[in-house]
Each structure stands twice: as C-alpha cells, then as structure tokens.
Amino acid sequence: MTELITTHTHTNFCGHATGSIHDMVNAAQAAGITTMAITEHYPLTPHFDPHDYISMHKDRVNEYIQTIDNERRAHSSMDILTGCELDWLGDSEDRTISNEDLKPFDVILGSVHFVDQWAFDDPEQRHHWDDVGVDEIWKRYFEIWCEAASSDRPFTIMSHPDLVKKFGYRPTYDPQPLYDQAAEAAMAGHRLIELNTSGAYYACKEVFPAPNLLKAFCHAGVPATVGTDAHQVETVARDIKSAYKDLYEAGYRELTVPTHSGDFRKIPLDD
C-alpha cells in the first residue's frame, strides 16, 4: 500500500507550530500524501490560552479558512481538508460555539488536553501530577475522554486517545477497563479514532493509542484513521506507513479517510 494520508497537522496559525500552511502542503505533496487535513487548534479564551500559544486566535479563523481554500485550488491532485482541533472542556466550557461556527470545517478533531482546567500535558505544569497522583489522573482523564466521545459535539475523529501517557506516567493498575470504556464511548458517539504517530517521540515512546487500546477500538467496531500531528514540515509524513502496520496488527483491515466532499472513503490495509 503506497497511498499516504494524514488527518492531523498544525501550522503557524497557532503559537507552537512553525510551518506555514503553504509550506506544510508543499511538504505533504512532496512526500506523496494524497489526503491531508489541516487541523489548527480552535480558538480558546484567554482563561485557557492567555498568550495565544495553544490555539489560533479567533480573529484569524476566516484568514485560516481562506488560506486553506487557496492551497486546495493550487494543489488539485491532493484532497486538502479544512479542519480544526476542538478541545473538550466539559463543565468548564467558556466559549459559545454554534453549528454555524463549525460549518466551514470538513474535519473536527475532538481532543482532551485539560483535566478540570489543568493542562496535564504542559511540561510547565507537571508538578500537578505529584499533587494528584498518576492513578487518579488516568481515571479522570478517561472519564472526561468518554464524555467527549459520547457528547453532542460534532467531532469527526477523536485524536490521540491516550494522551495522558505523554510523559511516560503509567498507572499501578491494569488500564484495560478504561480502554474498554473508551471504545464503548467512541462507538456510541459514532466517532473515528486516529492512530497518532507523534506519541513515539514523547517520553512515553509509544504511538497514541497503545496497542491494547487500539485493539479495543477495533473490537468495538470503531473506524480508524492516521494523523501525524505534525507541527513542522519535517514531520508531516512521519511514520505513516508504520501506523498502517500497527493498525493491521490490531485487527484493522481498512483505513477510514474523511474527504473534502463530506463523505468517507476506505483504503485497504495490507499486512
């Protein structure tokens, strides 16, 4: 199988990525990617993102959409999707987001970066892990993740499902029951999940999701896709072929790929 796809990429429209949309698309085309979703972080309020480091500023959304439209017209051989990564904030949600606000997006990634307003994957806030404890944080993370996956937010794909392991902190108990609950929630919410290749380059040294969680998703019938979570041009196509192998080993026999036209297509996975 030679076709490469990525449904999770970031650009310099947020404060922690470096590649422009133009440069990211050109790099993807050069790497042979046929479907690419550009999924910038949807705007957060100053309470969660006081320095516009995490997310795109709300005043730039229209510019962002127009820039992707321009690249789509210039790269007719690729399917370029206008996307966003939308944080699930639960009861802490302080934004008013309407269906009209989300209408321009072909793909909406659902993500959990905050546990009760705490950015648990922020290196500068790692001390809170010691305050609360790894076991409790894992339980709470998956509780929130299941809320997001089964919510009425129009998430297309649930991204990096076990991001909680980013720093390499593991619970003392078997997380399989949490994995099974996550799979049930994703199926109930009619979501896709992604195999996110970036995890292998964090302290956890493992893609998101872990093999047993990926198997749980497969067993539950949750469709899967692949995202590189690239934040610079060098990583736009990183480990996509390895991700296909991981999906196959977990039991998947096809990849589910969203399209700009609004439907989904299937790509067979080879062993």
User: Which domains, ranges and CATH numbers included, belong to the chain?
Assistant: 4-268 (3.20.20.140)
Strands 254-258, 4-6: pairing is unpaired
The span from the CA of 98 to the CA of 95, in Å, is 10
Q: What is the mean pLDDT of the chain?
A: 97
- To the question of pTM greater than 0.95 for the whole model, the response is yes
Tell me: pLDDT of 102 over 90. Answer: yes
Query: Any residues with CB less than 8 A from the CB of 175 and at least 6 apart, and which?
Result: 138, 142, 212, 213
Q: What is the DSSP letter of 200?
A: G
What share of the chain in percent tops pLDDT 70? Answer: 100
Q: What is the pLDDT of residues 182-223, one digit of tens each?
A: 999 999 999 999 999 999 999 999 999 999 999 999 999 999
Tell me: pLDDT of 1 over 60. Answer: no
Alpha-carbon distances, residue 11 vs 7, 20, 25, 63, 257 (angstroms): 13, 5, 10, 13, 21
